[in-house]
Amino acid sequence: MKQVLGKRRVISSQRELKALLERVMAKDGDYLVSGPRARKIAYGSGLVGMEIECRETHELKSLFNCPVCGHRLKLVKNMTVFGGTVNLGYRCEYCPYWTGLKRRVPTRYIFTRKSQ
Ligand SMILES: [Zn+2]
């Protein structure tokens, strides 16, 4: 991942990340990665922070797995004054993705190098 980043501090889209990753991997033979795979490699390296830009939809379907990294989502609940709980949404325990009851759909990823 260090090689992929080179001197860059910010990679401003998943497409760019994928291109950079493929260039480095091509040294070991032809290598193609999918966008989501590139994202998982980058974030999983621990060297890169990730910002997720989303748009809201009105879909109210339940989510079980994170659309960003595939890990299980945790239901976020809040206590009400009446002693019950309300569902506020979901958040991922692995990456920064979260969503309210209005589903947030990731539209863009920004990767930043973590300072060491
Ligand atoms: Zn996630």
For 65-110, write each residue's pLDDT tens digit: 999 999 999 988 887 777 888 888 899 999 999 998 888 999 999 9
Is the Cβ–Cβ distance between 90 and 76 less than 8 Å?
A: yes
The pLDDT assigned to 92 comes to: 95
- Cα(62) to ligand 1 centroid in Å equals 15
| 29, pLDDT greater than 90 | no
| 60, pLDDT greater than 70 | no
Is the Cβ–Cβ distance between 78 and 88 less than 8 Å?
A: yes
- Cα(95) to ligand 1 centroid in Å equals 4
Closest CA to 66 of 95, 36, 43, 37: 95
Q: What is the mean pLDDT of residues 36-52?
A: 94
Alpha carbon distance 48, 42 (integer Å): 6
Alpha carbon distance 66, 94 (integer Å): 9
Is the Cβ–Cβ distance between 31 and 20 less than 8 Å?
A: no
The pLDDT assigned to 109 comes to: 97
| pTM of the predicted model as reported, rounded to 2 decimal places | 0.79
Residues lying with their CB under 5 A of ligand 1, a single-atom ion: 66, 68-69, 71, 92, 94-95, 97
